[in-house]
Amino acid sequence: MIGLTHYLVVAAVLFVLGLVAVVSRRNTIAILMGVELILNAASLNFVAFNRFSPSFPAAFDGQVYSLFVIVLAAAEAAVALAIIFAFYKINRTVNADAANVMKH
Amino acid sequence: MEHGTASYLIWIPLLPLIGALINGANAFFGNRLPRILVYIVGCTTVFISLCLAFNAFVDLQGLPEDERYLEYSAYTWIKAGDDLEAPLADGTTAAVTGGTFKVDVGFLADPLSAVMMLVVCGVGFLIHVYSTGYMAHDPGYSRFFSYLNLFTFAMLLLVMGNNIFVLFVGWEGVGFCSYALISFWYKEMPNAWAGMKAFVVNRIGDFGFIIGFMLLFWSLGDHGVWTLNFRELAANAHLLAGMEWGGISVVTLIALFMFVGATGKSAQAPLYVWLPDAMAGPTPVSALIHAATMVTAGVYMISRMNFLYIMSPAALEVVATVGVLTALFAATIGLAQNDIKKVLAYSTVSQLGYMFLGLGVGAFSAGVFHLMTHAFFKGLLFLAAGSVIHAMSDEQDMRMMGGLWKKIPWTFGTFAVATVAICGIWPFSGFFSKDEILWKAWESGHRLHWVLGFIAAGLTAFYMTRLVAMTFFGKNRSTEEQKHHLHESPWTMVAPLVVLAVLSFAGGWLGVPEALGGHNRFHHWLAPVVDSHHGDAHHATALLAGEHGEEHAVPTGGHTAPAPHGETEHGAHAADDHAAHHNTERFFALISVLLASGSILLGLWVYLKRTDIARKAAGWLGGIPHRLLENKYYIDEIYNAAFVQNLLRATRFMAGFDTYVVDGIVNGTAILTRATASINGFIDKLFVDGAVNLVGNTLIAGGQRLRKLQTGQVQQYLYVLGAGVTIIIIVGLFIL
């Protein structure tokens, strides 16, 4: 029987994959993809907690939250891609290590 | 005009001062005025002063004999104490001067200062005119005339001041001008030295003078009379009688200290040494300052203070003795000098000695009379000598001269007149004045003084004849170059010579003694100043003895000396006495003239016919006496060894003390301070700075380590954040 724990483990695995991508990847596009993974892990948690809550199906606010997160992820991807585009125009690269102007 | 005041008096000294300022400014700004204007300013200011002085003289003559004084106070210079008003019995008040001290810049014209004013302005004016010719080729003419005018100003201040302070200002002023003019050609070192010597030697005398008048001021103050005014001093001098200070009469002390000042200024032994050296200055300066006027300041001062001196027989005795010894001493030196101006300088010292002899035997008017005639003939001698030097292209050595009388006849003629006058041949001026002094010396019982003075008179005639013979007669010994330039001086130089020659000839007629059929007007003219001390019958009698043949009381010593002709009775024999007395005086005059003529003839014979005698005399006793005289008895060397070198040694010691001890203390303090300061600095650096730097360095080191954390790598931050959150969760779940 597939219970709440299985969903949570999948979400945690997704989260850690996303985090590792964000932390270790040099390519900004890849970092952005990692962020998407983290957001999806969070959405999966919302949905899973809602499905296994005692008041289901009368209350499904967790599912609504996940919809918001998807919308948010879309908007965030649009903004982030615009930033990456501008960054590329200046540095001719999408390598995150090049974003060190503030340090110097 | 209120009696006794005359505001024009102030202009007499002021005009030469204005002239001095104009010419001084001209010299300072590089001689922009034309030469002729400088001459005009220099001469006219003195000439106007001469006219004003003559005016004062005429004014004085118009006054009754007892009131012959004019005073003018320009302003009050020094004032001490309060003006008091004492109530009188009838309800009015009277000013009380006791306890109030006041010094005015005041001018006094009385018979004595009138004589001095006329001499200073008259001879001064002639010498100014002469200088226009003498200095014609000198680039420093404007400076010269400035100093000359300044000197005239100071000298007039000296003789016209109505108190000792103003006199002293003039006294120092003439000293300064003398210094400036002796060193006039200051680029030559000997001239600068001579000026310094004159100044320093004069300062020694001035020191005595200051002590003298301060003592006078102080002693009179003890009696409640605080004044330096001559007329007030004369009126109150009797208060000093009987005052003693350590067993010596105060009056004697004052008189002697003041006499020290006179020996300095008037070149008497032992302070005469500066005068011969002062000949380094231009010749008109020697004539004006070192023959006619400044050096007579001491004589004037003692005549002015005569009321003190007659109270102190001992002081008078000192004055007379110093005077006659100086006269004799300087005359012997004059015998062996070869520089024409040096001979005249020693002659001046000698003649000044005569004046002091006159003063010292109580014959103040005779001293001043000789002062006046000496101003004429010695001024003339110097000017004529200047004319000779001018003609000889600045040669002063008589051995290089000779036979000049044909080439420069005017100079020779006037020089001869002056020589005869100084030798004392009747009826030239020197005869009357010198003879009167010698006669008064004899008459007052100073037999030894008379003998010494008499010998000096013979020597005077001899060395003056020697001078004339070597300069004007015989073979011309000058170089071809000098012969080529030999010329008579311009008229600006000759005219003053002629005027002075007339004065040297006739100046003595003012004081023809009664014994020679005159009235001795000069003596009567000065009588109100030098004889007005009724308290001292002694003195008045002695002074008048020459005319009235009364008791021959002696001013010095107080003992009654027998009259020369041995009569001492009073009253009844007065008329006989009178006649006999005059006969004695005539006899003395005769032997004086015989001595002078004899000396002149001897001199001419020795130096013109039998020059071998002169040479033999020079070699007499192995030449020692001659060398002694030629080197002025080595007095300069003795002074140098005894005083100058010791003084220099002392000053060098003081300088060494200053350098090593005083400076050493100062430097030592400085070194000590620096040492402590460097220790302080070291501590400061090590500990205080160390602590401060430690804080800073620690922070810097810490910061440098910390800044490495901020890499700018967002992913690193995120990594750390993730690690942190993980640790917190682990801690939260498993440990807490």
Burial string for B700-709 (b: 16+ CB within 10 Å, else e) reads eeeeeeeeee
pLDDT band at B240 (very low <50, low <70, confident <90, very high): confident
Q: What gap in Å lies between CA B721 and CA B170, rounded to an integer?
A: 106
Q: Is B36's pLDDT higher than 60? A: yes
Interatomic CA distance for residues B371 and B352, integer angstroms: 8
For B73, phi then psi, to 5°, come to -100, 120
Q: What is the mean pLDDT of chain B?
A: 85
- Mean pLDDT across B269-276: 89
Q: How confident is the model at residue B351 (pLDDT cuts 50, 70, 90)?
A: very high
Position B548 scores a pLDDT of 41
Better pLDDT: A60 or A38: A38
**Phi and psi at residue B98, in whole multiples of 5°?**
-60, 135
For A16, the closest chain B residue by CA position comes to B722
Q: Are B436 and B369 in contact (CB under 8 A)?
A: yes
What's the confidence (pLDDT) of residue B540?
40
Give the bridge partners for B244, in sequence order.
B249
To the nearest whole Å, the CA of A102 is away from the closest chain B CA by 7
CA dihedral B539, B542, B546, B550 (to 10 degrees): 120
Start-to-end C-alpha separation, chain A: 56
Q: Which residues face B107 on adjacent strands?
A: B72, B161
Q: How many helices (H) and strands (E) does chain A have?
A: 3, 0
Q: Is the pLDDT of residue B481 over 50?
A: yes
Provide the 10 A C-beta neighbour count for residue B626: 18
Residue B546 is predicted with a pLDDT of 42
Q: Least CA distance to A25: which residue of chain B?
A: B715
Amino acid letter, residue B76: T
Which chain A positions have a beta carbon within 8 Å of B715's beta carbon?
Answer: 22-25, 31, 96
Identify the pLDDT of residue B89: 61
What token pair was written down for B525? 């003219």
pLDDT in tens, B285-319: 999 998 889 999 999 999 999 999 988 899 999 99
Of B711, B712, B715, the CB nearest to A23: B715
**Confidence category of residue B564, pLDDT binned at 50, 70, 90:** very low
Helices of type H across B557-689: 574-604, 611-619, 624-630, 635-639, 645-656, 663-683
Which residues on chain B place their C-beta less than 8 Å from a C-beta of chain A? 710-715, 718-719, 722
What percentage of chain B exceeds 90 in pLDDT? 48
Question: pLDDT (tens digit, 9 = 90+) per residue, B379-405?
Answer: 999 999 999 988 888 888 888 888 888
Q: Which site among B715, B719, B726, B733 would you substitute to test the A interface, given the most A Cβ atoms closer than 10 Å to its Cβ? A: B715
Q: Where are the domains of chain A?
A: 4-98
Q: What is the pLDDT of residue A104?
A: 60
pLDDT of residue B249 exceeding 80, the answer is yes
Side chain identity at B363, as an amino acid letter? A
Q: What is the pTM of this model?
A: 0.74
Q: Is B237 a residue whose pLDDT tops 70?
A: yes
- Residue B420 CA to residue B45 CA, distance in Å, equals 33
**Residue B520 confidence (pLDDT):** 82
Residue from the list A24, A99, A104 with its beta carbon closest to the beta carbon of B714: A99
Nearest by CB to residue A23, choosing from B710, B711, B722, is B722
Residue B88's pLDDT band, with cuts at 50, 70 and 90, is low
Give residue B550's pLDDT band: very low, low, confident or very high (50, 70, 90): very low
Distance CA B475, CA B677 (A): 84
Structure-block tokens of residue A52: 């296994």
- Find out whether B35 and B141 touch, Cβ atoms under 8 Å: yes
Does residue B34 or residue B88 have the better pLDDT? B34
Please write the tens of the pLDDT for every residue from B184-229: 998 889 999 999 999 999 999 999 999 999 999 888 888 878 888 8
Q: Which residues of A touch B (CB under 8 A)?
A: 19, 22-25, 31, 96-97, 99-100, 102-104
Residue B279 has pLDDT above 60, yes or no: yes
Q: What is the pLDDT of residue B97?
A: 52
Among B706, B708, B714, B720, which would you mutate to test the A interface (most chain A Cβ atoms within 10 Å of its Cβ)?
A: B714
Q: Find, in chain B, the residue whose alpha carbon is nearest to that of A26.
A: B715
Query: Where residue B5 falls among pLDDT bands split at 50, 70, 90?
Result: low
Give the CA distances from residue B615 to residues B346, B471, B626, in Å, rounded to whole numbers and listed in that order: 22, 17, 10
pLDDT digits (tens, 9 = 90+) for B339-348: 999 999 999 9
B87 band by pLDDT with thresholds 50, 70 and 90: low
Instruction: Say how far apart CA B378 and CA B554 lie, in whole Å.
Output: 32
Does residue B412 have a pLDDT over 50?
A: yes
B332, B301 in Cβ contact below 8 A? no
Q: Cβ(B253)–Cβ(B245) under 8 Å? A: yes
Report residue B80: phi and psi, to 5°.
-140, 150
Instruction: Provide Rg for chain B, Cα atoms.
Output: 38
Alpha-carbon distances, residue B119 vs B54, B113, B497 (angstroms): 10, 10, 15
Given pLDDT bands bounded at 50, 70 and 90, which one contains residue B507?
confident
What's residue B99's pLDDT? Answer: 53
| Disruptive mutation site among A15, A20, A23, A29 for chain B (greatest number of B CBs within 10 Å) | A23
Is this prediction's ipTM beyond 0.90? Answer: no
Confidence category of residue B669, pLDDT binned at 50, 70, 90 = very high
Average pLDDT of span A62-73: 93
Straight-line distance from the first to the last Cα atom of chain B, in angstroms, rounded to the nearest whole number: 129
The domain defined by A4-98 folds into: Helix Hairpins (1.10.287)
Q: What percent of chain B has pLDDT above 70? A: 91
- Domain spans of chain B? 285-552+575-606+613-630, 646-735
Q: Residue B204: is it exposed, middle or buried by C-beta count within 10 angstroms (0-12/13-18/19+)?
A: middle
| 3-state SS, residue B539 | helix
- Are B414 and B404 in contact by the 8 Å Cβ rule? The answer is no
Q: Cβ–Cβ contacts within 10 Å for residue B498, how many? A: 16
The reported pLDDT for the residue numbered B558 is: 40
Q: Which two tokens stand for residue B222?
A: 């003890």
Quote the CA–CA distance of B232 and B221 in Å, as a whole number: 12
Residue B484 pLDDT level (bands cut at 50, 70, 90): confident
Quick one: tokens of B15?
């005009």
Using an 8 Å CB-CB cutoff, list chain A residues near B711.
100, 103
Closest alpha carbon within chain A to B722 = A19
Cβ of B718 within 8 Å of Cβ of A103? The answer is no
**Rounded Cα distance, B65 and B525, in Å:** 8
According to the model, what pLDDT value does residue A84 have? Answer: 92
Asked if residue B266 lies in contact with residue B296, where contact means CB atoms within 8 angstroms, the answer is: yes
Question: pLDDT of B596-628, one tens digit each?
Answer: 999 999 988 888 887 777 777 777 777 788 888
> Could you give the C-alpha distances from B106 to B131, B164, B669, in angstroms and in order?
31, 10, 54
- Most confident option among B442-446, B561-565, B622-626: B442-446
pLDDT over threshold 70, residue B84: no
